[in-house]
Structures are given as structure tokens and as C-alpha cells.
Amino acid sequence: MESSVVAEQLVKTFVVTSGWGRGRTRREVVAVDGISLDIPAGQAVAFIGPNGAGKSTTIKMLTGILHPTSGSARVLGYTPWRERRELVRHIGAVFGQRSQLWYHLPPRDTFELLARIYELDRPTYLRRRDMLIERFGIGPFLTTPVRKLSLGQRMRAEVAASLLHGPKVLFLDEPTIGLDVVARQELRDLISSWNRDEGMTVFLTSHDAGDVERVARRAIVINHGRVVFDDKVSALRREYLAAKILSVKFQAPVAPIELPGVTTLKATEYALKLEVDTRVTPIERVMSAVLRAGPVADIAIEDPPLEEVIAHIYSRGAPQAPEEVTTP
Amino acid sequence: MLKPALRYLKLAAAYTRLNLRAQLEYRAAFVSQVAAMFLNDAVWVVFWVLFFTRFPVLRGWTVEDVITVWALAAAGFGLANAIWGNAMPLPGLIAQGQLDVWMLYPREVLSHLLLGRMSVTSWGDALFGYVVYIAFVRPDAAHLALFVALTLSVALLFIGFSVLSGSLSFFLGHGGDLADQWRNAMIAFSTYPAVLFDGAVKVLLYTLIPAGFVTYVPIVALQRLSLADAALALAGSVAVLAVGVAVFYLGLRRYESGNLTEMRG
Amino acid sequence: MIATRKYAWLGLTSARSNLAYLAEVAARTLFLGVILFIFLQLWRATYAESGAERLGGLTLPQMLWYLAITEAIILSAPRVSHEVDQEVRTGALAVQLVRPLSYPLARLGMTLGERLVRFALNAGVGALVALVLVGPVPIAPQGLAMFAAALLGAFVLDFLALFLVGLGAFWMEDTSGLALIYSRLTMILGGMLLPLELFPEAVQPLLRALPFAGIVYGPARLFVRPDAAFLADLLVRQGVAVAVFALAVAAVYRAGIGRIHANGG
């Protein structure tokens, strides 16, 4: 499968000066310390990391806004910082904090302007626009000024706008920030289905675990300018915490279960919620213990929530050997 | 050669239409802002009329000439900032990293981003300039045509100067108060006839503070109905614009290597 | 009287907070430097062409100092009308009624403090520039005292007018248009750019009678040509205007407060 985004040992060093005259200090800050990526076309990738980890800097280099200090990259075959004018025809960007939509005008007007900016020929533009309006459910508020829209409606229109020119790679930066639960889910589904149906590569930055789980298949975690994890999202959970959450409901009251590596998260008369460190005690042993403890009405084994996993990775901080998995 | 110019004009038209539509959502505010600027400019014309009532000639120039200076400056400035309204706020855009969004479009960064905003009060200046010229000077068709052409030249000059002074932000942090005062000086000198100044200052008016291409050359062109002088005025505007564009792209390269005083990321 | 001490303290506090704007000095110097330089060139040419030593009773140095003072007066104008407008709209005005201080007097105290500091800054810079450009004009302690008296009257008068404009918020959607008209009338009819003596003969008596002249022309003229008779005349005119405006403010204020009480705030 062809790669849509490839980066090879990208490094970006900033020189930060402060003070004036004799008191002037010069500091070299390494924002990105050798990041390598290989993202096949059509993959949905979550790019995760704490603030200051080097996420925005990396994205700026991949979109051609910033020149790297060293290293190389090719996005859709273009070297971003050298061939930006050509590259940007084929990529789209949605920044949660900054809007492309004109605030006082309806989304339709912004769409028209974008058609003009990208010089799309009229029939293609209209066809695409109508499809996006339908898929994203924008019809009802197409002619309402953006300032009167809810945040959820705005973001849907925002994402639709970014897709008008048919980009092959879409960069999303915190797209669901500030959205309510329903709107968030809607947006995730739209992006996800677009990714699947159109084969468009999605490069998502988010602090929201739900975004990562629902939209992305692959997660790249960076910290201190380096990749600390690069694998499937499911592996993210399994690999890093080696923990399972075991929830069980009994038909009769039972005694508490004591095993090494098992923490009782919640215990009522008839139910137990256990966290199992499977490195200490394999899950089968815990399950047998549970089944022996009393008549089981219901049992479930889950992976721990992603927030916890990510928090765990951040706190660990130290760079691990990146595992490169190229299947979506 | 012509094709890119046409493409750009279409883009400019689209932006102007959209900007106007957005501003007209608040019709009352739009009208009052335009009226306010008109009134503001009128104060100066009243001053000059009063002045020339008492002192009929100023170094060979009459009240018509001086009012023409005002009309030209106002119309050119108004045109420049009504359509290319992001020229004056350029320092802020650079300092706050707002160039990024413009860099992600398949268009020339500078000429595109300039169109992104419209200054409402500038319509007041533009309206004032044309109205005052027609009402006060009562030109014939030839003079009016030349005047309109010269306002385009002056508009280019103001855009170029704004870009030039604004692009200093790439190199000096927020451009500093110094750049602001430089701009103020340009605007101030653009509304007084160049004949008032001699020697070193006169040289200044065609170099560092190129107001001479507003307050002298075009006026002479109109007095003599001379296309040669008009061409000279245009040449000056184009020169300033060229320098401004060059400085901007030089600065943009600096921006792209991330060597601004602030690090974002 | 305890009340005056209270208001004086308010004035001093306000003055101190404005001294924090010392960073403006450099910018202001450049700004006034350019403007006064242009004025100098204008008037130098005018004096030369008319061949007179005095125009409007002033020599060239006196003319420039006059303009420096009028600029300082205009530039030091505080945003009273806008602030009062906002306080009326947000209902903060109603809150003030609960406090033992009489609202307009408290405002006056604050405004005077603020304005005196800003005037000192602008006049100081203007004086420096004028000194460099044309040298000093004779200043005697007596003259300064006269000037100070005239200036105080001018500031009180201007305050009352701006306060009145701000109170328009009780009835108008937006008072900024009114404020703008007032400020521009002050500039042109108050003699900011041209001493009254140089206006057409016919309108001079009318202009002298208007309050604008009392705010700008009066004090500035007194500074460059101290004259007891002129001062007496000016103080009377200012006094009459102050009385008229004070009555108007009281009436409008009461009517406005009545409105608040009637509508429950």
C-alpha cells in the first residue's frame, strides 16, 4: 500500500532569545527530536501528546509551514516545505481554535469563496458541495449566519468546508473541543465514515480519548519531541497498561477476592469491580477465583479507559522503541 | 501574463463581495462608521478652505491643488484599505502566527491574505475623496479619468508602504512603536502639499516617506494633464510595492524557519 | 471642606495611575515632532509669502507654540462621554446613586486629574519640539498663572460638554456619533489649526461666543500672548458657558435619573 505521509528523522530546533543587550540569553530548544512516520494512504491516525510535546511543530513541518532543521518528509509525494503550493491543493486542515467559516455569513458563502480560492470548476464544485451538504446534514442551516449556529453545527460545516476541494489527507486539530456528547459523536462518525468511504488519510490531534478510539485505528504518541508509541489504538491500551477491568455481578453476597496484582475498585454486596495487573496474575486465575467465589450472574472483562492509558504514557515519559505497524 | 492577473482580480472581487456582505449585516454601524470618517476628513477640507480664504496662494499652489491632494490621499488610502484591509493589521497577524492559515491555500500568500479583511471606515475615506474632488474641483472628463487612475496608483503606494512597514514585524518582534510612528508620518505627510518642503526633507519624500508620490507628482500630472507625470507617479508606487513585497517574502522565509522571537508549539 | 478633599484625592489617584503611561513619551515625541514640523513648514511659507512679521497678531514662533498648545489640549481629551455612556447603559450609574458622592462631581475630579497629566505629557513634548524648531517664547510666571486659570476653565467646560453627550445614552442608541461631531466641531471651530483672528472677519464674533473657542483657542492664545483683559474676557465667557452647561447637565441628569426610577433601573 502506498504511503501518503512519510517522515524520516525530522528534527526541529528553535533558538529562543530573551532579554536585551548584555542580559540577552540564547537557548536552543529541541521541539522535535527525530520523528519518523510512515502512514499509508487511507489510514486514520491519532497524533497524541501533551502540550509542548512537539505535535504542532511536526504538523507544521508536514504541511510545509515550517522548515525542519534536519530530516526529510514526503506528503503525497511532495516535500512539504519546498512544494507547499502544490501540496496544499491536496490536503485539508481543520483547526478547532480557528475557523475558516466567515462568522457573519452563512456557510454557503464560505463554500462559494473556497470554490473560488481552489479554482474548482463549477459542476465539480456543485456536485461535491451538494454531496457534503447531504452527508453532513448541513441543509437545514446552510443559509443561516455562522454566528447563529451551535458549536456542533459549526464544526460540521467547518469539516465539510475543509473537504470541498477533495483533499487526500485531512489534518484535524482538536476538532471536538467544546462540543457536547451528541455533537461530538456525530462529528466523529462523519469523519470516520469519510475516512472509510473516500479512502482519505486522516491525521487527528486530540486530547479526547473518544476521538482517538472512535476515529483512529492507529495511535502515535509523542512526548519530548520523540515518538514513544506507534501502534494500533487497541494495542495502545493492551500494551501499555497490561491491565484489565473485571466487572462481576453475583447472585448472592460473596467474600472479597484477594489475589496479588488485583485491586478492588468497587465492592458492593452483590457486585465487584476489579483491576487486574495481568503481568502479576494472569486473567485466567482471577476468573477462576471469581467463579469459585459464588454464583455469577454477569461478568465482563474490559480494557481500561484510554484517558488512563494516555496519562500513564505521559507520566512514564521515557521514549520507548517505536513499533512501526503499517497495516491500518 | 494576463491570466494570473485575471485570476487574482476574480479572487479580489469574490473577497470584496463577501467582506461587504458581512459588514452590511450591520447596516447601521456600517453607515455611521462611513459617515464618521467622512466628517473627519471634512474637517481638514474646511480648514484648508478657511486658510486659503485668508492666504490665497501657497508657493504657487491654490486651494484646488491642496484639496486635490486631500482627495487623492483619501481616495487612494480608502481604496487600499477597503479592499486590501489586511495590509495595516499585518504586524499583528505576523506576531500572532496568523499567517499559517493563509499559507495552506494554493495561492500567493501575500496577495491573498491582504484581501482577507475590509476596513469599513476606509469606505468613508474613499467616498470622501471622490466626492470632494468632483464637487470642489469640478473636473472635466479627462481630469476625472486621470484622477481615478491616479487614485489607483496611490492605493498601490499605500498598500506597498503598509506591507513594507508591517513586514518589519518579522524582524523586530511586534515592529515596535517605531514602525507605528513611521506609518503615522507617512499618513501625515501624504496630506500636505510637497511644495512646503525643501532640501533634505524633499529627498525624504521620495524615499523613506514616499508621500511625494501622493502630494506632488500626481498633482503636477493633473495640473498639466500629463501622462508622463502620471507614469512617474505609478512608477514610484510600483517601486514601493516591490520593495514591500520583497521584504515580506524575506521575512516569510524567516517565519518558515521558525526564527521569530516567540516559539509556538 | 471635607467634600473637596474627597474629590481632590480622587483626582490625584487618577493622575497617578496615568503616570504609568510614561512609555508613550517616545511615541508621542515622534508623533508631535512630525506634525509640528509640518505646521512649521506651512506657516514659514505663509509668513514668507505674506511678508508680514505678525499674522493674526502672532509671530511665527508664537504661532507654532500656539499650535503646540492647541494640539496638547485636543490630544489630552479623555473619553468621558464614552465612559458615561457605558455607565448609563450598564446601569452602573444607578449603583453610583447609592454612594455618598455626587456622581458628576466625582467624575469631574477623576477627569481633571487624568486630563492634567495627559496635558502635561503632551504639552511637555510639544514644548520640547517647539523649542527645537523655533526656540522659546517669553514666559513669565504671571502669564503662566493666567494660562493655568484659563486652562482649568477650559477643562471644566469640556468635561461638562462631554458629560452631557454621554448622558445622551438615556435616550439614544449610540452616542459615539454625537461625541465625534462634538470633538470635530471643537477642532475646527475652536481654532485648533487656525487662530480665530485668521478666520473670515464676519464669523469671528460668533466663534468667540461659542464654547469651543473657550476650550482651545482661549488658553492657547493666552499662553503665547498673556493679556489681563483677554483673560478677563475669556473667564467671563467660560463662566457663562460653564453655567449654561452645568444647568443643562443638572436638568438632563435629573430627567435621566427620573427615567431610571420610573423604569426600575
**pLDDT tens digits for range C100-156:** 447 778 888 989 999 999 899 899 999 999 999 999 999 889 899 999 999 999 999
pLDDT at B43: 93
- Residue A234 above 90 pLDDT? no
Q: Give the pLDDT mean for C60-89.
A: 92
Contact A60 B100 (CB under 8 A): yes
DSSP string covering A294-328, please?
S-EEEEEEEPPPHHHHHHHHHHH-SPPPPP-----
Judgement on whether residues A260 and A147 belong to the same structural domain of the protein: no
Domain hosting A291: range is 243-302
Q: Give the pLDDT mean for C238-249.
A: 92
Q: Give the pLDDT mean for B176-202.
A: 89
CA distance B158 to chain A (A): 25
**Cα separation, C84 vs C92, whole angstroms:** 9
Contact B258 A52 (CB under 8 A): no
Nearest CB to B55; choose among C38, C50, C176? C50
- Chain C positions touching B58 (Cβ under 8 A) are 42, 45-46, 49
User: Any bridge partners for residue A272, and if so which?
Assistant: A248, A267
DSSP string covering A245-281, please?
EEEEEESS--PPP--TTEEEEEE-SSEEEEEEETTTS
User: Percentage of chain A surpassing pLDDT 90?
Assistant: 55
Judgement on whether residues A148 and A12 belong to the same structural domain of the protein: yes
| Domain CATH code at residue A282 | 3.30.70
Q: Give the pLDDT mean for A134-141.
A: 95
User: What is chain C's mean pLDDT, rounded?
Assistant: 87
- C-contacting chains (≥3 CB pairs under 8 Å): B
Residues 11-50 of B with CB under 8 A from A: 11, 14-15, 18, 21-23, 25-26
Contact A91 B258 (CB under 8 A): no
Predicted confidence band at B9 (pLDDT cuts at 50, 70, 90)?
A: very high
Contact B105 A100 (CB under 8 A): no
Q: Give the pLDDT mean for A71-90.
A: 95
Asked if A255 and A292 count as a contact pair (C-beta separation under 8 A), the reply is no
Interface test with C, best of B34, B46, B55, B65 (most C CBs within 10 A): B55
CA distance A274 to chain B (A): 39
Judgement on whether residues A266 and A190 belong to the same structural domain of the protein: no
Judgement on whether residues A150 and A111 belong to the same structural domain of the protein: yes
- Chain B positions touching A75 (Cβ under 8 A) are none
Domain hosting C178: range is 2-263
**Cα separation, A202 vs A169, whole angstroms:** 6
Asked if B219 and B68 count as a contact pair (C-beta separation under 8 A), the reply is yes
Asked if A91 and B106 count as a contact pair (C-beta separation under 8 A), the reply is no
**Cα separation, A212 vs A214, whole angstroms:** 6
- Residue C19 above 70 pLDDT? no
- Chain B positions touching A12 (Cβ under 8 A) are 258
How many C-beta atoms surround the C-beta of residue B208 within 10 A? Answer: 11
| C-alpha atoms less than 13 angstroms from C-alpha of C19 in its C-beta half-sphere | 7
Beta strands A243-250; A25-40: pairing state: unpaired
The chain C residue lying nearest B60, using CA atoms, is: C49
The residue that leads in pLDDT, A1 or A266, is: A266
Asked if B254 and B171 count as a contact pair (C-beta separation under 8 A), the reply is yes
Judgement on whether residues A171 and A247 belong to the same structural domain of the protein: no
pLDDT at C13: 67
Judgement on whether residues A102 and A199 belong to the same structural domain of the protein: yes
pLDDT at A178: 86
Which amino acid, A61?
A: M
Q: Is residue C89 within 8 angstroms of chain B, CB to CB?
A: no
**Cα separation, C82 vs C88, whole angstroms:** 10
Comparing CA positions, the residue from A287, A229, A246 lying closest to residue A49 is A229
Burial class from Cβ neighbours inside 10 Å (0-12, 13-18, 19+) for residue B219 reads: buried
* C-alpha cell read off for A100: 475558516
**Cα separation, A193 vs A44, whole angstroms:** 11
Which residues touch B115 (CB under 8 Å, ≥6 apart)? B11, B12, B15, B16, B83, B84, B85, B86
Q: Is residue C35 within 8 angstroms of chain B, CB to CB?
A: yes
Judgement on whether residues A176 and A218 belong to the same structural domain of the protein: yes
Judgement on whether residues A97 and A81 belong to the same structural domain of the protein: yes
- Chain C positions touching B196 (Cβ under 8 A) are 38, 41-42, 45
Q: Give the pLDDT mean for A74-82.
A: 95
What is the pTM for the complete model shown?
Answer: 0.86
Asked if C86 and C95 count as a contact pair (C-beta separation under 8 A), the reply is no
- Chain A positions touching B24 (Cβ under 8 A) are none
Which residues touch A132 (CB under 8 Å, ≥6 apart)? A138, A160, A163, A164
- Chain B positions touching A64 (Cβ under 8 A) are 103
pLDDT at C191: 93
Q: Give the pLDDT mean for C85-109.
A: 73
Rg over alpha carbons for chain A, rounded to the nearest Å, is 24
* Lowest-pLDDT range of B161-170, C10-19, C99-108: C10-19
Contact C177 B32 (CB under 8 A): yes
Predicted confidence band at B1 (pLDDT cuts at 50, 70, 90)?
A: confident
The number of folded domains in chain C is 1
- Residue C27 above 90 pLDDT? no
**ipTM (interface pTM):** 0.91
Please indicate, yes or no, if residue A32 is contained in any of the structural domains.
Answer: yes
- Chain C positions touching B43 (Cβ under 8 A) are 184, 187-188
Q: Give the pLDDT mean for A38-43.
A: 95
**Cα separation, C107 vs C91, whole angstroms:** 16
* Lowest-pLDDT range of A98-112, A281-295, B205-219, C119-133: A281-295
- Residue A78 above 80 pLDDT? yes
**Cα separation, A227 vs A32, whole angstroms:** 9
User: Percentage of chain C surpassing pLDDT 70?
Assistant: 86
Q: Give the pLDDT mean for C21-30.
A: 74
* Lowest-pLDDT range of A114-128, A276-290, C186-200: A276-290
- Chain B positions touching C45 (Cβ under 8 A) are 58-59, 195-196
Please indicate, yes or no, if residue A261 is contained in any of the structural domains.
Answer: yes
* Lowest-pLDDT range of A24-38, B110-124, B166-180, C104-118: B166-180
Predicted confidence band at B36 (pLDDT cuts at 50, 70, 90)?
A: very high
Nearest CB to C188; choose among B32, B43, B180? B43
Predicted confidence band at A153 (pLDDT cuts at 50, 70, 90)?
A: very high
Per-residue pLDDT tens for A177-217?
889 889 999 999 999 999 999 999 999 998 787 888 889 99
Q: Phi/psi zone of residue A249: left (φ > 0), alpha (ψ -120 to 50 degrees), beta?
A: beta
- B-contacting chains (≥3 CB pairs under 8 Å): A, C
The number of folded domains in chain A is 2
| C-alpha dist (Å) from residue A159 to A235, B66, B125, C128, C186 | 29, 54, 38, 59, 53
- Residue B209 above 80 pLDDT? yes
Please indicate, yes or no, if residue A309 is contained in any of the structural domains.
Answer: no
Contact B256 A31 (CB under 8 A): no
Please indicate, yes or no, if residue A172 is contained in any of the structural domains.
Answer: yes
* C-alpha cell read off for A169: 489527507
How wide is the angle at C-alpha B119 spanned by C-alphas B113 and B125, nearest 5°?
Answer: 130
CA distance A118 to chain B (A): 7
Contact A67 B103 (CB under 8 A): no
Q: Is residue C53 within 8 angstroms of chain B, CB to CB?
A: no
Contact C49 B50 (CB under 8 A): no
Judgement on whether residues A173 and A292 belong to the same structural domain of the protein: no
User: Any bridge partners for residue B264, and if so which?
Assistant: none
Nearest CB to B43; choose among C41, C50, C187? C187
Contact A17 B18 (CB under 8 A): no
Per-residue pLDDT tens for B249-259?
999 999 998 86
Judgement on whether residues A196 and A283 belong to the same structural domain of the protein: no
Asked if B176 and B184 count as a contact pair (C-beta separation under 8 A), the reply is no
Please indicate, yes or no, if residue A262 is contained in any of the structural domains.
Answer: yes
CA distance A102 to chain B (A): 8
Q: Give the pLDDT mean for A248-276.
A: 87
- Chain B positions touching C26 (Cβ under 8 A) are 177
CA distance A85 to chain B (A): 5
The chain A residue lying nearest B14, using CA atoms, is: A113
The chain A residue lying nearest B16, using CA atoms, is: A113
Per-residue pLDDT tens for B100-132?
999 999 999 999 999 999 999 999 999 999 999
- Residue A21 above 70 pLDDT? no
Nearest CB to B257; choose among A57, A67, A109? A67
Rg over alpha carbons for chain B, rounded to the nearest Å, is 19
Judgement on whether residues A140 and A279 belong to the same structural domain of the protein: no
Please indicate, yes or no, if residue A327 is contained in any of the structural domains.
Answer: no
Q: Give the pLDDT mean for A119-146.
A: 95
Judgement on whether residues A173 and A86 belong to the same structural domain of the protein: yes
Chains A and C touch (3+ CB pairs under 8 A): no
Q: Is residue C54 within 8 angstroms of chain B, CB to CB?
A: no
Burial class from Cβ neighbours inside 10 Å (0-12, 13-18, 19+) for residue B56 reads: exposed
CA distance C116 to chain B (A): 24
| Domain CATH code at residue A21 | 3.40.50.300
